Structure 1
C-alpha cells in the first residue's frame, strides 16, 4: 500500500523550512552587524554610548573638540563612534594632532582628520604623491575596518603656532612601480 502525503503536511514543511532559513539569515545579519559596530568603541557606563577616539584618547558622546582650525563633535553611526565636522570656531586645537602616522584603528574614530605624513605616501603610476601634501580623514569600509583617505589639501589645515608640521617624506619616485609603492 502506497503512502499518501497530504498537501497540508507539504505546506507545513515548506513554511517551517522557510521560517528556519529566515531566522538563520536574521541571526547571521545581527552577528555580522554587531561585529562591524565594535570597531573603536569604548564605553564607561551602561547607556553612555561609544566614546570617540582622537590620538588614542577617548571622548564621550556629545564632546566637541577643535583641531586644525575645525571643530568636531563625537556621535555615533549605527552604534559605532564617529566624529562629525561642525561649524568651525577658529580657535587653537584642544587635542593633540600627531598626523596620520599609523593605522588609525585604536587611535582615531571615523571622521577624524589629521595632516598627512610619510605613512600616507602613495604612487600614481611612476609618480610619488607625498602624504604631507594632504589632510587625511578616517573612514570605515563595509566590514568596519578603518583607514585614512585623502580629504583635502594641507592648506586647509590650520596649524597652531607651536605645533609641529609633518616632515618631508623619505621616499622617492624610484620606489613607485606601476602604481605600487615598494
Structure 2
C-alpha cells in the first residue's frame, strides 16, 4: 500500500506537480517605468541632472539614484498625476500644481519640491523628496515658479 503512494509522490515531484522550484517571481524580472516607457533591468537614464538605474527591491522594479548626470535622456512631465502605471518606485519628478496641499488655510505649492514615487499598499504615490533646487532643468525647459492655485482654495487643511 505504501509503495503506490511513494511512486505517486515521486512522479509528482519529478514533473513539478507540487511546484517545488517551478515558480518564478516576475517582480524581479519586470522592467522599470519612466513616463510610461519600459526600461530593462540594469538600464540607466538621466533626469534632472541625476542618473537612475533600473533594479529591484523587495517590492519589485525600482529606480536607484546614482551620481550626477548630464541632460535628461527621458521625458520629465513632472509629478502631474498618480505615478501608478507611469513610473516605478524611486523615480523623481519636479512638482506641479497636482502636488499642492493645504496646512490650515495656507496653500503649500507643489512646484517648490521634487517628488519621488514611493510604494504604498494601493500602488504608488508622489512624496516630497526635497527642494526643487535639487532638480536641474534642461535648457529650454521653464521651471514653474508658483502654483496657479491661491490660498483662498484652502479651508481647514482641505484643498477645495
User: Of the candidates 46, 50, 59, which is equivalent to residue 30 of structure 2?
Assistant: 50
User: Of the candidates 150, 161, 172, which is equivalent to residue 128 of structure 2?
Assistant: 150
Correspondence for 2:85: 106
Counterparts in 2 of 1:66-145, with a 5 A limit? 66-78=46-58, 80-89=60-69, 91-141=70-120, 143-145=121-123
Q: Secondary structure at the match of 1:146?
A: strand
TM-score by length of 1: 0.70
Of Structure 1 and Structure 2, the greater strand share is in 2
TM-score by length of 2: 0.79
**C-alpha RMSD of the superposition:** 1.9
Question: How many residue pairs were aligned?
Answer: 136
The alpha-carbon deviation at position 171 of structure 1 amounts to: 1.1
Counterparts in 2 of 1:166-181, with a 5 A limit? 166=144, 168-181=146-159
Greater Cα radius of gyration, structure 1 or 2: 1
Structure 2: runs of 5 or more not aligned? 1-24
Counterparts in 2 of 1:30-41, with a 5 A limit? none
Of Structure 1 and Structure 2, the greater helix share is in 1
